[in-house]
Amino acid sequence: MGELVVGIDVGTTKVCTIVGEVRDSDVYVLGLGIEPSQGMRKGMVTDLNALRASIVASAHKAEKTSGYEIGRAFVSLAGGHIESINSRGAVGIPNQRGVQLDDLERAMDAARAVNLPHGREVLHVIPRNYSLDGQAGLRSPLGMLGFRLEVEAHIITASVQGVKNLEKCVEDAGVLVDRFILNPLAAGDIVLTPEEREAGVMIVDIGGGTTDLAIFVDGSVWHTAVLGVGGQHITNDIAYGLRLPTELAESVKLTHGHADPKAVSSLEAFPIQPFGEELPTKVQRADLVHIVHMRVAEMFEMILKEAKRSGYDGLLKAGIVLTGGSSLLPGIKAVAADVLRMPVRLGQPERVTGMSEALKNPAYSTSVGLLKLGLIMDEEDARREGLRKHSNSRGSGWMRGFLRGVAERLLPREETGE
């Protein structure tokens, strides 16, 4: 039996609560509650009461199906207020005694001590690699001799208000937030293979209101970003372009939508009922596809720009993995490959069992990933807490939000059990 964990993925279009166990690498689902989400735009809370009600409905459903009461949960976080920076921290190693775990911790402390603008807080701190006396690119310098240890870390920050508003919604719904986890880290953990993360890959979760991405190189997180654009923007463009109410535009997208003009015949047409018309009219499917294509191509241009901005676009040997509900749009893979000029595959949670049929869908990558990554982060914190107590050094203020990569980096491989 694994440990019982709960994840609540608060998306722009749906709230998904999962009660499950992590058994080895699989997530075994005991209870599930998927409800439409209200009160969120582009990943930001816009209506506390509406969002709380959506979370309550989703959590209740998961409680009912699992038979467990939900007290606390790992909660997804995205939104335009997320930013990431890279930072370095250096420490001296005394007496030629070899690098110890505590030195890695001290170096991370130093990297974390960046000056944040007012109103921002640190969400995750992820070590990428170490250097010792100038020898760069070390994964784990433990035991190595040297005088000066330096760590390169990726720091993800969020607006304090953005986090507080979501925390309030979840806590008003009667659930304590165990920790917030950035969407693409959760999705990456469940969808990407270790080989992809080693080779260099970008995970892109295209949801309703946001597109969340993370770049993994050499097995660790190198860059993250949240773009305030998603499937709802495609729907809005269809509504505007074809003069349709939003719900109808959404259903037209789901029934006839396609992102690749080359794949659709110019002869295809379908009937719709636009605003101000008494009788249904016929729409050339190519016109719809043109609208969808323009937006999707623009989204991938933004993604490409972000990859270039990170400086790692040339390192993505395994290319890009698309997930999130909008990755179900037919033709999206071809447009991604056209714009990005790299290998593209679609990803969804595979290693999920139990009450899991609905979850084997790209819309639930982040939802399922929360359980696994949340637990890994907890284990890391516990390990680090033990280390702190043992060395009886500083407090534990910086420990929130550590990642699997840390396990591989801070501990020798034997100890991680891998």
Ligand X SMILES: Nc1ncnc2c1ncn2[C@@H]1O[C@H](COP(=O)(O)OP(=O)(O)OP(=O)(O)O)[C@@H](O)[C@H]1O
Figure out which of the listed residues 5, 6, 8, 13 binds ligand X, where binding follows CB under 6 A. Answer: 13
Minimum distance, C-beta of residue 100 to ligand X, in the bound complex (Å): 41
Q: How far is CA 48 from CA 8, 208, 220, 308, in A?
A: 16, 19, 35, 36
Piece of 273-281, 343-351, 362-370, 373-381 that binds Mg ion (CB under 5 A): 362-370
Phi, psi of 104 (to 5 degrees): -60, -40
Site size with ligand X, rule: CB under 6 A: 25
Contact 43, 79 (CB under 8 A): yes
Cβ at position 255, least distance to ligand X in Å = 9
Range 239-268, binding ligand X (CB under 6 A): 250, 253-254, 257
Q: Write out the two tokens for 312.
A: 């790692």
12 vs 58 by CB, closer to ligand X? 12
Closest to 220 (Cα-Cα) out of 302, 110, 137: 137
| Residue 207 contacts Mg ion per CB under 5 A | yes
Q: Which of residues 351-370 bind ligand X (CB under 6 A)?
A: 363
- Which one of Mg ion, ligand X, none interacts with residue 354, CB within 5 to 8 A by kind? none
Which residue bears the tokens 């597109």? 211
Q: Which residues within the stretch 63-102 sit at the binding site for ligand X (CB under 6 A)?
A: 78
- 14 is a contact residue toward ligand X (CB under 6 A): yes
Determine what percent of the chain falls in helix, strand and coil, rounding each to the nearest 5: 40, 30, 30
Residue nearest to ligand X (CB): 325
- The span of 112-120, 137-145, 207-215, 388-396 binding Mg ion (CB under 5 A) equals 207-215
Which of ligand X, Mg ion, none interacts with 310 (beta carbon under 5 to 8 A by kind)? none
By C-beta, is 208 or 219 nearer to ligand X? 208
Tell which one of 6, 7, 10, 11 touches Mg ion (CB under 5 A): 11
| Binding window for ligand X (CB under 6 A); candidates: 6-14, 128-136, 185-193, 279-287 | 6-14
Please tell me whether residue 7 binds ligand X under the rule CB under 6 A. no
CB of 363 to ligand X, least distance (A): 4
Return the residues of window 179-208 that contact ligand X according to CB under 6 A.
207-208
- 325 binding ligand X? (CB under 6 A): yes
Number of H helices, E strands in the chain: 12, 19
Task: Give me the helices (H) in 101-159, please.
Answer: 101-112
Binding-site residue total for Mg ion (CB under 5 A)? Answer: 3
- Per partner kind, with CB cut-offs from 5 to 8 A, the member of ligand X, Mg ion, none near residue 33 is none
Residue 369 or 401 with smaller CB distance to Mg ion? 369
Residue 231 sits in the site that holds ligand X (CB under 6 A): yes
Which three-class secondary structure state does DSSP give residue 290? helix
Among ligand X, Mg ion, none, partner that 224 touches (CB below 5 to 8 angstroms by kind): none
Are the C-beta atoms of 344 and 337 separated by less than 8 Å? yes
d(CA 144, CA 17): 45
Stretch binding ligand X (CB under 6 A), from 157-165, 229-237, 298-306, 389-397 = 229-237
Provide, rounded to whole angstroms, the least separation between the CB of residue 139 and ligand X.
32
Q: Is the CB of 329 or the CB of 406 nearer to ligand X? A: 329
Q: Which of 324, 151, 295 lies closest to 226, judged by CA? A: 324
Rounded to 5°, angle at Cα 143 from 137 and 147? 70
For 66, residues 6+ apart whose C-beta sits below 8 A from its C-beta are: 19, 30, 31, 32
Q: How far is CA 140 from CA 96, 122, 410, in A?
A: 17, 24, 7
Element (DSSP H or E) covering residue 129: strand 120-132
Cβ pair 8, 59 in contact under 8 A = yes
Residues 340, 304: contact at Cβ < 8 Å? yes
Is 324 among the residues that bind ligand X (CB under 6 A)? yes
CB 155 within 8 A of CB 106: no
Nearest distance from residue 135's CB to Mg ion, in Å? 40
85/163 Cα distance (integer angstroms): 18
The kind and range of the H/E element at 150 are strand 148-159
Residue numbers at the binding site for Mg ion (CB under 5 A): 11, 207, 366
Residue numbers at the binding site for ligand X (CB under 6 A): 11-14, 37, 43, 78, 207-210, 230-232, 235, 250, 253-254, 257, 324-326, 328-329, 363
